[in-house]
Amino acid sequence: MSTDAVTYQVKGHIALVTINRPDKRNALSIEVVDGLQAAWQRFSEGAERAAVLTGAGERAFCAGADLNAPAEVWRCMPGVGVALDKPVVAAVNGWAVGGGIALVQFSDLCVAVEGARFVYPEAKVGFSGGLIASMAARLPHKIAMELMLLGEEMSAERAYQVGLVNKLVAVADLMPAALDFAEKAAANAPLVVQMVKRFADEVIPKGSSEIAAIARRDIERAYASDDLKEGVAAFREKRKPNFMGS
């Protein structure tokens, strides 16, 4: 599965997911959000054991929501729009803005170029979906509040110092470093990797928007299921339904 806006490549046991709107700084349009959600679904169901998420070009990892084509950004967040028990590595190749920081937040590991910048400007814009609130459970509280309340940019070096980034590298080393993280995770016992990721996700507190998004995700899955169609058909035909769990 690849689209114009999001590409999906398989490299051995690794899925390489790329936001492909470099001319728009990889902003989260409806097409991008739908493409990322489909990519995470494929990753969840496929044989790949780890994923690397990056943005095309060198200017931006992701410039956040596309205000000219607003989308339901929660749908594209790994582990939120699609439940995942496999590790995701964010490879940040430039600016990570708004929803771009949220993509880093919901990834398990992050490699960034030394010139990367992180900023959450929603308080200055006057809008937020609230997913960023979970950052307070992933970073020291005061650092998370600085990002959310002030809307000022954070350098790659400071992001590394406060634990938002695992490793800083030169531009040429970004993808090799991110793939190295993913390959090391993929080489380990899959059942253990998936188990500890699930356990860790249960430990991390979730904000109100994240909880609501996960509930909506699961409800929509039930509404779109073959079982619902079978249940309705069985009711109309006055017979016992044959549910298949799909």
Rounded to two decimals, what is the model's pTM? Answer: 0.92
| Stretch 100-115: mean pLDDT | 97
**Structure confidence at residue 69 (pLDDT):** 81
Q: In whole angstroms, give the CA distance from residue 110 to residue 4.
A: 25
Tens digits of per-residue pLDDT, 141-167? 999 999 999 999 999 999 999 999 999
Tens digits of per-residue pLDDT, 2-36? 568 999 999 999 999 999 999 999 999 999 999 99
List, as own/partner pairs, every contact residues 156-161 make where C-beta atoms lie below 8 angstroms and the sequence separation is at least 24, other chains included. 156/92, 156/112, 156/113, 156/114, 156/115, 156/116, 156/117, 156/118, 157/114, 159/112, 159/116, 159/118, 160/112
Q: Per the structure block, which two tokens stand in for 237?
A: 């035909």
Tens digits of per-residue pLDDT, 38-82? 999 999 999 999 999 999 998 999 999 998 888 999 999 999 999
The single-letter DSSP state of residue 65 is: B
Domains within the chain, CATH numbers bracketed: 6-206 (3.90.226.10)
The residue with tokens 């800083």 is: 168
Q: Using DSSP, how many helices (H) and how many strands (E) does the chain show?
A: 9, 10
| Stretch 199-209: mean pLDDT | 94
As a whole number of Å, the end-to-end CA separation of the chain is 21
